[in-house]
Amino acid sequence: MNARKKRPELHFGYSTNVHKSETLKQMYRFLEDYTIPVRKRVFGKEGRSGLELRIGIELAKELTPMQVREQFSSYLVENGLDIFSINAFPLNNFQAKKVKEQVYAPDWTTKERVHWTIEISKIFADLLPEDRQGSVSSLTGTYRPWKDTPKVHRAIAEGFLKVLWAQETLYQKTGKDVVLAIEPEPDTTLDTSDQVIDFFENTLLPLAKKKWKNKFSTLSQLEQVLRHRFTVNLDTCHFSVLFDEPAQAAIDLAKAGIKIGKVHVTNALALRNPHRSPTGYQTFRGMHEQRYLHQFCGADAQGKPIWRGRDLNELPKQLKPDQFPDLAELRTHFHVPLYLKRWKNLRTTQEDTHKALREIVKRKLSTHLAFETYTWPVLTDSSRLLNGLTREFRWMLNALDGLI
């Protein structure tokens, strides 16, 4: 497929959370060292590329002055980068030596998460081209082991509504269309498509009817705005890990009237028949590392989850025959490059990812596609990052051959 062919309906890019990006200086550096060179390799010297930019609290503070935003916007245009999405999931240092569950802090029960999501939406509106909808992705609430009650769910919904209304107000004032895209992830408040649908129908929508009843003349108008602003960032790795097939999850969300604001095109690690593969099991367990959480899930032969854990270090050193004897496959939330069908002696969920990507594009369920292998720094040295990002980009484009 010709990567230089114009694609007016779809926006492609990679998530810059793979880089150190807490400050303006760090941001400009990775754009020069990686993002622009990748754009030239994939789309040619004069071609343009989409961009999903990760903005946390410290970078948002530096981007607050209008002059700084204007300079940055001009820089993007001059260097062939078309921003279409913001990754506002990790608000604090995502390249710290140890991130783990702190990636979820501050969560959606706090004023801080609400405030900074609104501020990032405002910054994004000034960077977003006039004719483009922009998505801001974030977590679905909080880390479930911390707190998970109906009262917590209501507090999360209240936080969402404040951001959604701020985004709607922004649109009414500026014409810039920014939506929220919550990202289901294992062990967070909402981690499957069914949970998202239930939360929307039984918590968020009823609360919106109470909180927003004086803002609209009809409930139909209210619900229309809510369904436009509240969307899902469907991370294919996250759904695959829990054996919630991402292609079907996308279809189910669409049937429920919940839009997919963005797709994170990602690959998980998997081990089939772990009882019969002790070396594979050791490799799987050995993927535990100190920076990120790697939740795991095991399923039986019918794909029904029967075993879950918060991180790979919870796995026993050896898998005994009487431990989950019906276990047919283990998967873990460990992003690996898209172009890999295998990693060492493990499989990947590339087949799930490929199917979901094509299904979503074919059904026109989303126009924002970003790949997000943020684990590159813990998988290999930085000298391989440029080639790796280029190969991932080309894999994604080739996977859509014939559809765009």
* In-domain check, residue 329: no
Domain of residue 17: give its range. Answer: 11-271+348-399
328 domain-assigned: no
Residue 285 located in a structural domain: no
Write b or e for each residue in 47-84: b if 16 or more Cβ atoms lie within 10 A of its Cβ, otherwise e.
ebbbbbbbbbbbbbebbeeeeebeebeeebeebbbbbb
In-domain check, residue 73: yes
Nearest-angstrom CA–CA distance, 36 and 177: 26
- 331 within some domain: no
Q: Extract the residue ranges of the chain whose pLDDT is less than 70.
A: 1-8
Alpha helix ranges (H) inside 256-400: 278-285, 350-362, 376-379, 385-399
Dihedral of CA atoms 109, 113, 114, 117 in degrees, nearest 10, equals -150
pLDDT for the residue numbered 362 = 96
Q: Please write the tens of the pLDDT for every residue from 13-59.
A: 999 999 999 999 999 999 999 999 999 999 999 999 999 999 999 99
* Structure confidence at residue 404 (pLDDT): 79
Question: Strand (E) positions, 247-375?
Answer: 259-265, 267-272, 296-299, 305-309, 329-336, 342-343, 346-348, 368-371
C-beta of residue 178 within 8 angstroms of C-beta of residue 170 = yes
Residue 290: inside a domain: no
Whether 341 maps to a domain, the answer reads no
The CATH number of the domain where 174 resides is what?
3.20.20.150
Please report the pLDDT score of residue 398 as a whole number: 96
Percentage of the residues of the chain whose pLDDT score is greater than 70: 98
Q: Are strands 81-87 and 133-139 parallel, antiparallel or unpaired?
A: parallel
Task: Verify cis geometry, omega within 30 degrees of 0, for the bond prior to 106.
Answer: yes
Cα separations in angstroms, 253 against 135, 241, 400 = 17, 18, 22
Number of domains in the chain: 1
Residue 365 lies in a domain: yes
Main-chain dihedrals φ then ψ at residue 143, nearest 5 degrees: -85, 120
Q: What is the pLDDT of residue 6?
A: 44
